[in-house]
Chain A
Amino acid sequence: MNGRIIVFLEGKKKEGLKKSTGALLKAACLLSRQTGKPVEAVLMGEDPKQYGEEVLRKGLNCIHYIKSAELKDYDVHRYAPAFYSVVKDLTPWVIMGGSTLLGKDLFPRIAAMFSVPMISDCQKITFEGPGLKVVKACFYGKKQAELSFTGNPPYIVTLVPNSAEVEIEGQEAAVAEGTKEREIEYIAAEEPKGRLVEIIMKETEKQDVLEAEAIVAGGRALKEKADFLLLEELAEKLDAAVGASRAVVDADLASPEMQVGQSGKTVAPKLYFALGISGAAQHIAGMRGSKVVVAVNKDKQAPVFNYAQYGIVGDVYQIVPEVIRALTDLDG
Chain B
Amino acid sequence: MRIGVCIKGVVEDNEGSKWVINTFDEYALEEAVRLKERDEKTEVVVITVGPKDLREMLYAALATKADRVVHVVATEEGMSGFGIAAILKSVVWQEEIDLVLLGKQAVDNASHQIGGLLAGLLDWPQAIDVIELAIEGDEATAHRLAEGGKIEVIRARLPAVIGASKGLNEPRYPSLRGIIAAKKKEIKEITLEELGLAREDLYGIKVERVFAAPEKGVCKFIEGEPGKAAAELVRLLREEAKVI
Contacts and interface: CB of A to CB of B under 8 A. Distances in A.
A112 interface: yes
B126 A118 contact: no
A15 to B, nearest CB: 13
Contact of A264 (B166, B207, B222, B237): B166
A44 to B, nearest CB: 16
A281 interface: yes
Interface string B117-139: 11111001111110100000000
27 contacts: A80-B120, A100-B147, A101-B147, A108-B116, A108-B120, A109-B116, A112-B85, A112-B116, A118-B117, A139-B108, A140-B108, A142-B213, A192-B125, A194-B126, A196-B153, A199-B152, A199-B153, A257-B148, A259-B166, A271-B237, A271-B244, A292-B241, A310-B222, A313-B221, A319-B229, A322-B231, A323-B233
Contacts of A293: 216
B219 interface: yes
A149 B208 CA distance: 10
Contacts of A140: 13, 107-108
B82 interface: yes
Nearest to B166: A263
Interface string A112-142: 1101111111000000000001001111111
- What is the predominant secondary structure among interface residues of chain B facing chain A? mixed
Contacts, number: 275
Interface in B156-204: 156-157, 160, 165-167, 203-204
Nearest to B153: A198
A257 B145 contact: yes
Interface in A211-236: 211, 214
B147 to A, nearest CB: 5
Contacts of A106: 116
Interface stretch (A86-94, A172-180, A201-209): A201-209
* Residue among B119, B205, B241 with most chain A CB within 10 A: B205
Interface residues of A, number: 102
Given A144-B214, A305-B219, 6 more contacts: A75-B154, A120-B81, A140-B107, A257-B148, A310-B233, A312-B221
Contacts of B154: 75, 194-197
A77 interface: yes
Nearest to A330: B234
Contact of A117 (B13, B24, B81, B125): B81
A150 B118 CA distance: 21
B226 interface: yes
A108 B227 contact: no
Interface string B95-130: 000000000000111111111111111001111110
User: Which 4 pairs between the two chains have the least Cβ-Cβ distance?
Assistant: A194-B125, A112-B120, A108-B116, A194-B156
A270 B237 CA distance: 11
Given A144-B211, A256-B166, A199 B150 contact: yes
A113 B118 CA distance: 10
A150 B208 contact: no
Contacts of B120: 80, 108-113
A210 B210 CA distance: 25
A82 B126 CA distance: 16
A63 interface: no
B111 A121 contact: yes
